[in-house]
Chain A
């Protein structure tokens, strides 16, 4: 039943259409896959060497060790560590590509890109220890790009951005031997250590897992974020619209889907090219309408205000509206099913990255050197496809919502200080005084194993009701936008009194959209800045903050979870990571780690219970910091429960 799948009415509508038209979606495939293998779910299936595959009997009757002798602890830890490595690799490889683009732009090998945020360029150059005096922007950009690339191949030493963390945190990482040395190195070492017959101590494996994850959060992802700001401009608060109602019946609808802004940013420019607009008119369309899905959407949203069509689980649904003339994809979270679904409609699917091809799908390979031409070529294909629309197969949901995006570590909290006094002081003061209880990052994917958007929204509402400022990214942010939580006026209604006061005073929504999933690194910067501002302890683990990925599905989410935990933050995953087959590893993650890195995990699929755990954690941290009691505790809790039911 479509109503059980999603709480987003637009998605439900599209699902009904899919059902009527006999189109199989991710939910149908999920159902067909039931029941899913318990060994995989528990993490106790090992396929690492050819003596296997091996499985541990969780009931204790069958084998307790694999052929090599690895027990459940080793197997679970190795599998998990490889997920971290894959997730970190994805974010970092993205970061590497941005660095390459910056270099190409600096060398003048492409005219589609140039440095847009010179201030940030200089700031980063300084951080990298590059002497900027007397150098022009492109020279600096070239050196910054090259310095960033060094971070990937570096063998010894420490990642530059890791020094952004509070001093105490850096000391801890060094002491534990998890200070990341080089991005590629840690990922490679992780793969080495988890191959057959190497690391069999689950604690040691998870230690390297954390180091690998830190190369993501404080390395690859952060490089991606910062260099994207330099190349495409640092986002500023911007108004935009979300959901499938943004598809246009009378315009050529082009969807960009995936994770990188490199091509899509140029597509935005090309979509305004008079030649193409003329062509669109020739084909009977009033214009070219761009929309985004997943993190590519967030990238062009926060820099250009391009509407967001939907999040991860809506990629098929967008096609099912029958109104998408072309969908171009880059990398990550692209369902291979799009190939078949687009064939059921007139939609043209185009892959663009040499890293991501799908059989029987048109591939127009993107290279920075001729980015604009490629963008135009793809757009032209979309325009020419407009005529193939099946008029009676089009059904665009009416739902759309306005919201504000484009907050960053620089803009979001400086706003709190006002235009002329941009500082984190007011944020710290709000927490210290108890007007705010704390802050939470609610991030991550969506997953058909939980009602689409439901866990994100239920959790966020529970948090803001209790005066917790929420920052969000990626698919979680899109979920929040769809119901108005990212709109200052609408969102405010759901907030507790203390948070409401702040929203009213500064005109921000209670939930701040910080960007794509690599932009989770912005959250790390925010937290470090808060510590630096003073009054809330001297390490990230002292802060009354927590993180959550209530509907996670990707390996990238595991990498993010680990760098957040390793940075000292309590983190909740909705459905558990595949670790429950080992009691030791589970206890290590959900308990022991707190004593070691200050952060730990909890797995809680009920979003209200999860939010409560986060709130308790903040209360605990507030007590430890001897902060004033939360200002509106009573009032906040008495407020009627905002009802979103499963």
Chain B
């Protein structure tokens, strides 16, 4: 993704920096980060990837959810340097070759958002839970699993509908039945 429009504030050397090597949305990246820099802030401020949102900075709202090695995590609770050698996926990495991920497409079609600010976090949690065999496929299980992602606009009904439509399209039911057999 072209982030050249964003200026990148330089980290003054007086604070000391650490080199971080990790994979971001499939691309190997090396960058210098402050030791107290949180992954969320590095994404938003240093890398210009604003899709990952800050809603509380305390791990309470889920707006900053990203995937770290395939697991949904609150990026506000994670120092950037902890990601050494890890695979980080943000909402910017969901669409492939200009085509929306089925979860994104279903969020669009189900109107599973209003202001859109919690939406990246909702979708990152959704894509993770669709791959998580521990989580039941019924609405109640999905709602329970998604309850770390607050939507103050209250679009919960449509979000669950979008997730369940995605499940059918992604064929997760079939896969998991096979897995259970």
Q: A and B: partners?
A: no
